[in-house]
């Protein structure tokens, strides 16, 4: 059995701007074969003072392209995970922490940008945002943004299902943009 080393370099609250600042030291320095990346929630969060995204949409897209191009240049496969939706039901998410509103409605555009980059660069895409259409969000999301224990288990399952494809196929063969569900298609979004 082949051994794998796994590094969790995710930092809560990070946007792609933060990821860019530590990309060389935290990711490229490890010479990875596979990177699983989930950005978007903090990028799309609206600044309450201006009503604009924390990271402009085009900057977000450019940052994703930068990550992919650098990783593919070292023969590393990239798997993108779109963020889960924001649960805005009464008693769940309340805007204001850190001067941000996560529910200004920018999330669909940011998910679409990730989908487009995944398709354009032949990356694997696990579309959590889409998968959540088949989930009970009250069971999946705890505070409007973050996952419950059940939601974290679902994320782990999605990662495990994706990783199992990589361990049974050649890593040099891109899986292309996909969802775990057969009915997903780029045209739908």
- Encode pLDDT of 78-94 as tens digits: 999 999 999 988 878 88
- The string of pLDDT tens digits covering residues 135-170 is 999 999 998 999 999 999 998 888 787 766 665 554
Average pLDDT score, the chain = 84
How much of the chain exceeds pLDDT 90, in percent?
60
Q: d(Cα 186, Cα 169) in Å, to the nearest integer? A: 24
How much of the chain exceeds pLDDT 70, in percent?
84
Q: Two tokens at 34?
A: 């596979």
- The string of pLDDT tens digits covering residues 25-48 is 999 999 998 899 999 999 999 999
- The string of pLDDT tens digits covering residues 49-61 is 999 999 999 999 9
Res 12: pLDDT: 85
Minimum mean pLDDT among 100-114, 117-131, 147-161, 165-179: which range? Answer: 165-179
Q: Two tokens at 164?
A: 């199992």
114, pLDDT greater than 50: yes
More confident residue, 43 or 183: 43
Res 174: pLDDT: 40
Model confidence band, residue 2 (pLDDT cutoffs 50, 70, 90): low
3, pLDDT greater than 90: no
Sheet holding 124-126, edge to edge: 34-37, 77-81, 124-126
More confident residue, 17 or 93: 17
1, pLDDT greater than 60: no
Long-range contacts of 15-18 (CB under 8 A, 24+ apart): 15/39, 15/42, 15/43, 15/54, 15/55, 15/60, 16/43, 16/55, 16/59, 16/60, 16/63, 16/64, 16/67, 17/43, 17/55, 17/59, 17/63
Query: Would you tell me how many other CB atoms lie within 10 Å of the CB of residue 28?
Result: 16
């Amino acid at each position: 059995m082949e051994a794998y080393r796994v590094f969790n370099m995710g930092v809560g609250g990070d946007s792609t701007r933060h990821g860019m600042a530590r990309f060389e030291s935290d990711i490229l320095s490890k010479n990875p074969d596979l990177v699983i990346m989930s950005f978007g929630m903090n990028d799309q969060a609206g600044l309450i003072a201006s009503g604009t995204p924390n990271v402009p949409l085009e900057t977000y897209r450019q940052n994703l392209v930068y990550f992919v191009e650098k990783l593919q240049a070292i023969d590393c496969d990239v798997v993108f995970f779109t963020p889960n939706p924001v649960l805005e039901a009464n008693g769940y998410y309340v805007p204001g922490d850190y001067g941000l509103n996560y529910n200004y409605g920018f999330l669909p555009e940011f998910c679409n940008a990730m989908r487009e980059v995944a398709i354009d660069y032949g990356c694997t895409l696990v579309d959590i945002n889409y998968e959540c259409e088949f989930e009970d969000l009250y069971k999946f999301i705890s505070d409007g943004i973050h996952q419950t224990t059940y939601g974290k288990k679902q994320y782990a399952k999605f990662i495990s299902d994706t990783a199992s494809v990589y361990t049974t196929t050649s890593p040099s063969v891109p899986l292309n943009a996909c969802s775990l569900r057969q009915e997903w298609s780029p045209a739908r979004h």
